[in-house]
Amino acid sequence: MSPGNPPDLPPDPRTLVWYDRAALLTARSAATDVLAPRSMALRNLLWSWLATAVVAGGWCFAWVGLGWYLDLDDPEGADLLVTVVLVVVSLLVAGVAAAAFRRVVRRGRAAHRLLEAWTALDRLPPARALPPGNIPQPLASTWDLMRAGQPWKNTVPLDGRRYLAFLSGKSLMWMMAPVAPLLAGGILVLVALTGDLGQENGGTCAQVAVAGAGFAIAAVGLWGMAKGLRHYTWALREARARVSEEKTWPSLITR
């Protein structure tokens, strides 16, 4: 297990040893069944939005409470106590939500890193050098079927082509859904920088509150789009590698 990986994820395949390709492909299938949902689970997108909303709300409450206190003409001790409690509680809630978002990011990054390693495992030279063993038909890659003498045209749809759509729907969702929070966050930042949110200390605190909330919302939108783009790029790269191998096999087998 690589440092920092959650314990419920499969280990790094580079730390494992197999005696034949049948065992390797069986382990690879089991690992991808776990990693694929973890890498691009849409619930992680929803959790990240919820955590960001809590962070933005906590930030706003803290600064609005501070602005309210600074605008009081004759503040009393009770007013100061209320302000301190409001600011501290708001920042604590925002900190807990930020920690939850960080956990979602780390788990998704770890799952995607392992998914890349496991899906490319069967194409590595040491894996290709293993004896075939008794490979179950659904797990056989195009390379295994070709090596076994299957006609090239019968093996093409089994491997490379399916990667063209492998998790691409979720990748597109991750790229498109964050557009709304990205725009909303940008609008809030513009309103804070150019709008009139009040006078004196309260207005300044309101500007800081709205600008910080907008920046947090826009940042999570950018993160979601980048994550979806990274995953879609990986799926396309994986597909091209396998399709290229399929197309060049007839020339390779005659050498």
Residue type for position 178: P
How far apart are the C-alpha atoms of 238 and 220, rounded to whole Å? 27
Does 99 map to a domain? Answer: yes
Q: How far apart are CA 237 and CA 171, in angstroms?
A: 14
For CA atoms 183, 185, 190, 195, give the dihedral sign.
Answer: positive
Q: Whole-angstrom Cα distance, residue 201 to residue 30?
A: 59
Instruction: Report yes or no on 250 lying in a domain.
Output: no
Structure tokens at 75: 């503040």
Residue 154 lies in a domain: no
Residue segments in the chain with a per-residue pLDDT below the cut of 70: 1-7, 150-169, 196-202, 245-255
Residue 13 contacts residue 117 (beta carbons within 8 Å) = yes
Q: Give a yes or no: residue 7 inside a domain.
A: no
pLDDT in tens, 135-188: 877 777 777 777 777 665 555 544 555 555 555 667 778 888 888 889 999 898
Contact assessment for residue 11 and residue 64, using Cβ atoms and an 8 Å cutoff: no
What domain range is 26 assigned to? 21-128+159-245
Domain count, the chain: 1
Structural domain contains residue 229: yes
Rg (CA), the chain: 26
Domain presence at residue 148 = no
Q: Does residue 151 form part of some domain?
A: no
Residue 211 located in a structural domain: yes
Dig out the tokens for 181 from the structure: 């929070």
Residue type, 201: N
**Is the overall model pTM greater than 0.85, yes or no?**
no
Predicted confidence at residue 72, as pLDDT, reads 74
SS3 (DSSP) at 216: helix
Confidence (pLDDT) at 168 = 62
Q: Is there a contact between 225 and 175 (Cβ–Cβ < 8 Å)?
A: yes
